[in-house]
Amino acid sequence: MEALYALTLGVLTAAGVYLLMRARVYPVVMGLTLISYAVNLFLFAMGRLGTGVPAVIGKSTEHGDPLPQALVLTAIVIGFAMTAFVVVLSLRALGELRTDHVDGEEPR
């Protein structure tokens, strides 16, 4: 299970980096989103994944670690706000520059 989880993180990160290197705005936004998903999964995995462990302290001898859950929830909110800002910024650049290349120039 850990190998599948690590492979999934690697694929998400590699796809995100690949999309970040594109010359268009939309793939760059998607690459940032994929990398933020990979980071969220990584933070969640740092809480030692466990099945059947109650999230409430005091119900049993073992409990789920609340810190990674809080970090992931915070990262989801920040990632959503960042994605919305980058989309609005790219739409503004598209309207003013009339191109969707990240450097603002058409390739020759």
Q: What is the pLDDT of residues 41-76, one digit of tens each?
A: 998 888 766 666 666 666 667 766 778 888 889 999
Which CATH architecture describes the domain 1-49+63-97? Orthogonal Bundle (1.10)
Question: Which residues lie below 8 Å from residue 79, measured CB to CB, with a gap of 6+?
Answer: 33, 36, 37, 40
Q: What is the mean pLDDT of the chain?
A: 85
Question: Which residues lie below 8 Å from residue 75, measured CB to CB, with a gap of 6+?
Answer: 36, 39, 40, 43
Report field, pTM of the whole predicted structure over 0.85 = no
% residues pLDDT > 90 (the chain): 41
The full set of domain ranges for the chain reads 1-49+63-97
Instruction: Note the pLDDT of residue 58.
Output: 67
